[in-house]
Amino acid sequence: MNDAKYNEQAGQPFGTERPERGRFILGLTGGVGAGKSRVLKILAADYGFHVIQADQVARAMLQPGRESYQAVVEYLGSSILNQDGSINRVVMAELIFSDPVKRAGVDRIIHPLVWKACFKEAREGRSVIESAIPSKEFRDNCHEIWYVYASRENRMARLKEGRGYGEEKSLSIMKNQALEETFRSFCDVVIDNNGTVEETMGQIQRRLKLLGQASFGRQEDV
The pLDDT value recorded for residue 128 is 97
Q: Identify whether 130 is part of a domain.
A: yes
C-alpha separations of 199 from 8, 179, 204 in Å: 33, 25, 9
The pLDDT value recorded for residue 216 is 64
Other residues' Cβ atoms within 10 Å of the Cβ of residue 105: 16
What is the CATH classification number for the domain harbouring 23?
3.40.50.300
The pLDDT value recorded for residue 133 is 87
The pLDDT value recorded for residue 20 is 59
How many domains, in total, are found in the chain? 1
Cα 214 vs. chain centroid, distance in angstroms?
21
Q: Identify whether 216 is part of a domain.
A: no
Q: Identify whether 220 is part of a domain.
A: no
Are 48 and 73 contacting, i.e. CB atoms less than 8 angstroms apart?
no
Q: Identify whether 221 is part of a domain.
A: no
Query: Would you give the end-to-end CA distance of the chain in angstroms?
Result: 6
Q: Identify whether 73 is part of a domain.
A: yes
Alpha-helical regions (H) of the chain: 3-9, 36-47, 54-61, 67-76, 89-97, 100-121, 136-140, 152-163, 167-175, 180-186, 197-211
Block mean pLDDT (10 aa), the chain, length 222: 32 41 90 94 96 94 92 95 95 89 92 92 91 90 96 93 89 87 95 96 96 67 42
The pLDDT value recorded for residue 16 is 36
How far apart CA 157 and CA 145 sit, in angstroms, is 26
The pLDDT value recorded for residue 19 is 52
Q: What is the domain range of residue 32? A: 3-10+18-211
Q: Identify whether 87 is part of a domain.
A: yes
Q: Which amino acid is at 219?
A: Q
Q: Identify whether 218 is part of a domain.
A: no
Q: Which of 37, 79, 38 is nearest to 55 (CA)?
A: 37
Q: Identify whether 24 is part of a domain.
A: yes
